[in-house]
Structure 1
Amino acid sequence: MQSFSKNRIVPPEVLLNGYRNGIFPMSESRDDESVRWYSARQRGIIPVEKFRVSSNVRRIIRQGRYNCQINTCFRRVMEECADRNTTWISDIIIHSFEMLHLAGHAHSVEIFDEDENLVGGSYGVSLGSAFFGESIFKKATEADKVALWHTHQILKKNGFTLWDTQFYTDHLSQFGCIEISSEEYRRRLNKALKKSADFRYR
């Protein structure tokens, strides 16, 4: 773990350099005025070719219950992800990632219901052919999982080779998440950074 001095914003180039070196930023609470850098001895990833969702989620997608958009309300997605009792997404991180979004490297996948309400979503960072998933939220049944399904479609279609989840959890394992060593992660990251991929939906 590396400390980062207090700032009102972490510049996009600093964020990208961190991801390029296998570390990621977190705060301790929503109003925390500092950002720290973290790594992990064991890293969670979802192999793009092994992603899966339940039959119920697939049914919801086939029924067209939700509409998916990308990058239309990036900040709102981040704020929804941060709206919980405990969060590592501080206001400084939201401001910083909004700048990274404007620079074309941070993306949101947004799920809307039939009344055009934002009911789910996820966001992350793209660099080369690597995608660093950051957080997800839901306000309707399975909307977070539908967001992950659409994220997978985007990554698969556009040739992304590394889907980083930072940590392995039992929750993420249902989507195919596995745990690899930091050495293996570094190897995969370096390879992914040598290839370009665009995060586009259509």
Structure 2
Amino acid sequence: MLPPNTCDWGFPEPHEWSNDDDVVAAGADLAPTTLLYAYSHGMFPMYLGNRHRDLGWWSPVARGVIPLDGLRVTRSMKQSARKFTVTINQSFAEVMQQCASAHTEGQWITQEFIDAYCTLHALGHAHSVEVWNTDNRLIGGLYGVRINNFFAGESMFHLQRDASKVAVMHLVDAMNAAGMTLLDTQWCTDHLASLGCVEVPRAQYLELLAHSVTP
């Protein structure tokens, strides 16, 4: 395991961030120490969307989180969960590749990202949840980064109804069993809101994060 507070780059401090912009820095790299430092300080990487594909570091002004005691589980999700098999950390790279295929518009999960997060996975810092059907086909999943009691959900996909939601169900169960405290979803989309995701102001999120990443 790598310490989350060692980094070769000089990121701006939160008091220097704009209160009107989700992007708080640009540049740096996707080295394991850079990623862990960024996540532990409220940032995550995505390309800026310009033609040069510059790397940006984001900390949304309104941050999406799923309260671990507030997941909304529907009857359909429960029925699907009984039909599917769920595993953890069995096919990390394949989950990332499927997530990349599912987000073709504005593609940001490039091979550079896949390589970087697979390295984090090999070091024990990035994890995946896989959902399989009765034919042993991967039909859904998610991946993200864990630092102590914090999990940053990066992306998820589904090839069958409710498969990604079942992955979230199992992630929340695993986090609760491990005594974890914060599940970050970056933004609160309509899909995530249907699962109980809420928005919190950046300052409040950073307080929750500091508590969760501290051993």
Q: Tell me the TM-score normalised to structure 2 length.
A: 0.83
Distance 1:114 1:95 in 2: 30
**2:27 corresponds to:** 4
Kindly provide the amino acid, as one letter, of the partner of residue 174 in structure 1.
S
Kindly provide the CA deviation profile for residues 1-23 of structure 1, in whole angstroms up to 9, marking residues without a partner as x.
21124x6xx21111000001100
Match of 1:92 among 99, 112, 118: 112
Kindly provide the amino acid, as one letter, of the partner of residue 209 in structure 2.
L
Kindly provide the CA deviation profile for residues 36-80 of structure 1, in whole angstroms up to 9, marking residues without a partner as x.
21111111101101111211111222xx31111111110100010
**1:68 corresponds to:** 86
**2:164 corresponds to:** 144
Give the SS at the match of 1:50. coil
User: Do the aligned residues in 2 keep the contact of 1:32 with 1:90 (CA within 8 Å)?
Assistant: no
Deviation at 1:27, TM superposition (A): 2.4
Q: Residues 131 and 32 (structure 1 numbering): CA distance in 2 closer, same or farther, change over 3 Å?
A: farther
Q: Residues 116 and 156 (structure 1 numbering): CA distance in 2 closer, same or farther, change over 3 Å?
A: same
Distance 1:90 1:109 in 2: 20
User: Do the aligned residues in 2 keep the contact of 1:28 with 1:88 (CA within 8 Å)?
Assistant: no
Deviation at 1:34, TM superposition (A): 4.1
**1:103 corresponds to:** 123
Could you list the structure 1 runs, at least 4 aligned residues long, displaced by more than 6 angstroms after superposition: none
Deviation at 1:114, TM superposition (A): 1.1
**2:189 corresponds to:** 169
Question: Any gaps of 5 or more consecutive residues in structure 2?
Answer: 1-22
How many residues were matched structurally?
A: 189
Deviation at 1:32, TM superposition (A): 7.2
Match of 1:15 among 10, 16, 35: 35
Distance 1:33 1:183 in 2: 29
Root-mean-square deviation over aligned CA pairs: 1.7
Kindly provide the amino acid, as one letter, of the partner of residue 70 in structure 1.
I
State the identity as a percent: 35
Distance 1:187 1:152 in 2: 21
Distance 2:109 2:48 in 1: 8
Deviation at 1:85, TM superposition (A): 2.3
Distance 2:57 2:115 in 1: 17
**2:212 corresponds to:** 192
Distance 1:73 1:134 in 2: 16
Kindly provide the amino acid, as one letter, of the partner of residue 165 in structure 1.
T
Question: Any gaps of 5 or more consecutive residues in structure 1?
Answer: 196-202
**1:81 corresponds to:** 99
Q: Tell me the TM-score normalised to structure 1 length.
A: 0.88
